[in-house]
Amino acid sequence: MTNKALVVEGGAMRGIFASGVLDAFLDQNYKPYDFAIGVSAGASNLLGYLSNAPHRSYQVITELATDKRFFNRTRFARGGDLVDVKWLIEESNRRFPLDSHALFSTPMIAAVTNIETGNADYFQLSPCNLESVLEATTALPIAYKSTPCFSGGCYTDGGVADSIPVKEAYRRGARDITVVLSHPLSYQMRPARAPWLMKRLLARYPGIAESMLVRADNYNQSLEFIRHPPSDATIRVIAPPDEFAVKRLTMNLTLLEQGYQMGLEAGKQHISNRNGIHGLDDQNCHFCL
């Protein structure tokens, strides 16, 4: 039997699209995956999906991530966090408790970036490490001052080293992989515009600085892997349309709602395509532009 994996990209507030996709999946009880891998906001989105909590991710993004206790420019200007990741995790779990039995019934892996090596590490979530791993995978460099440390290492946002961990899904044996992206299919990441500034801001963590400087190359290589997968793998992509207007730090509720609705529609369309309702189209090929 072919192992099936679900990979969900991060992207901060752009994660509203994936929250819509996964809510559409939940609405139709669509859970064909043997395991899932998430990064940053993608990992947060997977919590709601795997624990059978529709609208949880939507509420976390629109009610909590827009709160000044999470995102605060004034606090950042005074030397504090631009985003308080730990508060968001704790408040999310308090307001929207997770069904642990459902959550851990499907293996979930989160990508983090090791601050010493600048490389990606991958942790399977468990009741013992849930909050630590979630904090690490969403700990945006510079914007979040704390450095989560556990299991003998210290980590930052998984998107630094592996924004789309599709290769990791393949390495773990998946040969039927569905990837939910946070950018339209036409997107290509551009190299950092000021390498010297990146190195200066991350002088304490040269491994992270180097990883940030090659992030665009790594990201675009993941897209190439999706476009041209190994001969024994099938990769399907769910991506926002070109008119998707949500940015990394969008706080406008109207734009967030529009992004969520786009995700809902894309999720429904994907299930219809997988059920053969519309016959062959873009979702049935490896990667269609």
Identify the structural domains of the chain with CATH numbers, from first to last.
4-275 (3.40.1090.10)
Strand partners, 39: 111
The residues annotated as belonging to the active site are 40, 157
* Neighbour count for residue 213 (Cβ, 10 Å): 16
Alpha-carbon distance of 10 to 5, in angstroms, equals 16
Q: What is the pLDDT along the chain (289 residues), one digit of tens a residue?
A: 579 999 999 999 999 999 999 999 999 999 999 999 999 999 999 999 999 999 999 999 999 999 999 999 999 999 999 999 999 999 999 999 999 999 999 999 999 999 999 999 999 999 999 999 999 999 998 899 999 999 999 999 999 999 999 999 999 999 999 999 999 988 999 987 777 777 887 878 888 888 888 899 999 999 999 999 999 999 999 999 999 999 999 999 999 999 999 999 999 999 999 887 655 444 445 444 3
Residue pair 95/23 in contact (Cβ under 8 Å)? The answer is no
Q: Which residues contact 147 (CB under 8 A, 6 or more apart)?
A: 115, 139, 154, 155, 156
- Helix and strand element counts for the chain (H, E): 12, 8
Beta 108-114 vs 35-39: how paired, if at all? Answer: parallel
Q: Where are the beta strands (DSSP E) in the chain?
A: 3-8, 35-39, 108-114, 120-124, 149-150, 153-157, 174-180, 234-238
| Model confidence pTM above 0.85 | yes
Partnered with residue 268 across adjacent β-strands are none
